[in-house]
A and B are shown apart, each in its own frame.
Chain A
Amino acid sequence: MTGLTAPLASVGRSTLQFLASIGRVSLYVVQILRHMVTPPFYPEELLKAVLRIGYFSLPVVGLTALFTGAALALQIFAGGSRFNAEAVVPSIVAIGMVRELGPVLVGLMIAGRVGASVAAEIGTMKVTEQIDALLTLSTHPMKYLVVPRVLAAVLTVPILVAIGDSIGILGGYLVGVTTLGFNAAAYLQNTVDFLEQWDVLSGLIKGGVFGFVVATMGCYHGMSSARGAQGVGRATINAVVSSSALILASNYLLTSIFFSA
C-alpha cells in the first residue's frame, strides 16, 4: 500500500510546496507595494539602482537586439521569398521587434544579468548578517534594498526595451540594405508606415512588467537564501529560472490581453 501511495504523496507534497511558494511570493509583492508608498524613501539608493540596472545593461541589450534584428530580417526575407512577399521584411522586423522580441529578449537578458546579481548580492548580505545589521541600524531592508531595485527596474526596463527596439530595427535595416538589396529610404518608409503607436506602447508596458518580475524575483530569492556559498548559488539560480519562466508566461498573458480580438 505504501509503495502505491508514495508517488501520490510525493506529487501532493510538491503541489503543496508549489502553492505555498506562490502564496509567499504574493505576500512579498504586497509588502513591496506597501513599502513603495510609505516613507522613508531612499532616493540615493534608487539612483544607484537605476545606474546599475538600466545604464550598465545597455551594452548587452544593444548587442542582443542588433543581432536579433539582423537575423530576423534574414529569416523573414528567406521565408517571404517562398511566396514572393520579400517586401514585408521592414514591417515584420519592426512589428516583431517592438511587440515581442524586443521586450522578451530584453527581459531575459535583464533576468540573467540583473536578476542574478540582485539575488547574489542580497543573498550574500543575508548570509554575512548585513541584513541583520541593517535592521539593528533602524533601516528596513525592504525599503532600503528591495523597493529601490524594483522601482529602478520598472522605470528602466521600458527604456531599455525602447532602445533595444530601435537597435533591433537598425540591425534589420543594415542587413536589408547591405545584403538583401533594399532601398534605404524605402526600408525606413515601410518601417514607419506599418508601425502603430500601440505596437510600441504594448512592448513598453511589457518591459515594465518584466522589470518588476525580475527585480522582485531577485530580491525574493536573495532574501530567502540559505546559509553558505551553496545557499547563495541556489538563490541565484532560482532567481534567474523563476524570472525567465515568469517573463515568458506573463508575455503570453499580456499578449493575449493586448491583442486578442
Chain B
Amino acid sequence: MIALEEISKTFGTNQVLRGVELEIATGRSMVIIGGSGTGKSVLLKCILGLVTPDAGRITIDGQDITTGDRDVMLSRFGMLFQGGALFDSMPVWQNVAFRLLSGRLRRSRDDARAVALAKLRRVGLGADVADRYPAELSGGMQKRVGLARAIAADPEIIFFDEPTTGLDPIMAGVINTLIREIVTELGVTAVTITHDMSSVRAIADDVAMLHAGKIRWTGPIGAMDDAGDPYLEQFVHGRAEGPIEALR
C-alpha cells in the first residue's frame, strides 16, 4: 500500500499541496483527478522522490521512501510520462530496454532486445518500430513506446501521468483500454493522474479528487457519480458554473 500522510509542498509563494492524505491499496488502480495546476504531477513526483515534500511522510508497504536504497525503491516503479519523455538520442528498443541495459537489472544486450520486442508487441507495436528513433513516431506510437518502457522491468507499481493528453479521442480510447488491460494482467498497483473523464471511467478502480492542495473526495469509481460533492460533480460534468472558480 502507498500511504501519503500530511504532504505539503510550496514553490516560492505558491503552496501547491496543503496536507494531502491518501491511501492507495495494493493491486488497485487509483486515478487522481483535478484541474490543471492543482498539483497532481507534483504529488506523483513526491511519491517518486523527484520532488521533496516540505512536510509529511510517504510510505510504501509501511517503509518510508526516504529510507533504504533508492535504486531498489525505484526499480519497483514504472512510469509513463505525459509527453512520453523518450530518449531521442537512442532507438526505440533501447528506450524500452533502458533499465535492462545497465544497473542492477542489467542483462545481455540480446536478452534486453528480446524483452523490448516482447513489450513492444504487448502494446501493439511491431518489430519494425524497434530500430526507429522516437522523433520518427506519431504521438500515439510514442505513448505506446512509453508504456512499453514503463512495463519493461515488470514493476509492481506503475504511474501514468496524463496518458491521453494530446491524442485524438479514438487513440485516447485505445491507450485507455491498453492501460486497463496491462494493469489487470500484471496485477500491479496503478496511479494515474488525469483530467480526462473518459480515462477515469476506463482505468479507475478508485478515484481521488485533488482540489486546493488537498484530497477533496476519494472513493470507488462506482460511487463517484452519486458522491453528492458539489466540487466533484462540477468537475465530473465539466460545468463552468459551480464552487470551483474558472478563469474566463
Taking Cβ atoms with an 8 Å cutoff, the residues of A that contact B are 40, 42, 121, 125, 128-130, 132-139
Contact = CB atoms under 8 A, between A and B. Distances in A.
Contacts of B98: 137, 139
Contacts of A42: 102
A138 B103 contact: yes
Contact of A136 (B74, B83, B86, B89): B74
A130 B103 CA distance: 18
8 contacts: A129-B81, A129-B82, A130-B88, A133-B81, A133-B87, A136-B77, A137-B98, A139-B102
Contacts, number: 49
Contacts of B81: 129, 132-133
Contact of A133 (B49, B85, B103, B104): B85
B48 interface: yes
B83 A138 contact: no
Contacts of A135: 48-50, 74
Contacts of B48: 135-136
Helix, strand, loop or mixed for chain B's interface? mixed
Contacts of B50: 132, 135-136
A135 B48 CA distance: 9
A84 B62 CA distance: 86
A149 to B, nearest CB: 12
B83 A128 contact: yes
Interface of B: 45, 48-50, 70-71, 74-75, 77, 79, 81-83, 85-89, 98-99, 102-105, 149
Contacts of B102: 40, 42, 139
Given A136-B50, A137-B99, A138-B104, 5 more contacts: A128-B83, A132-B45, A133-B81, A136-B48, A138-B105
A136 B103 contact: no
B103 A129 contact: no
Contacts of B74: 135-138
Nearest to A144: B102
B75 A138 contact: yes
A128 B85 CA distance: 6
A139 B75 CA distance: 10
Of all A-B residue pairs in the complex, the 9 with the closest CB atoms, nearest first, are A133-B85, A129-B85, A138-B74, A138-B71, A136-B79, A129-B81, A137-B99, A130-B85, A137-B98
Contacts of A137: 74, 98-99, 149
Contacts of B88: 130
A137 to B, nearest CB: 5
Nearest to A135: B50
B154 to A, nearest CB: 14
A229 to B, nearest CB: 14
B103 A139 contact: yes
Contacts of B75: 138
Contacts of B104: 138
A136 B45 CA distance: 10
Contacts of A138: 70-71, 74-75, 99, 103-105
A194 to B, nearest CB: 46
Contacts of B70: 138
A127 to B, nearest CB: 9
A125 B90 CA distance: 13
Contacts of A136: 48, 50, 74, 77, 79
Contacts of A40: 102-103
Contacts of A129: 81-83, 85
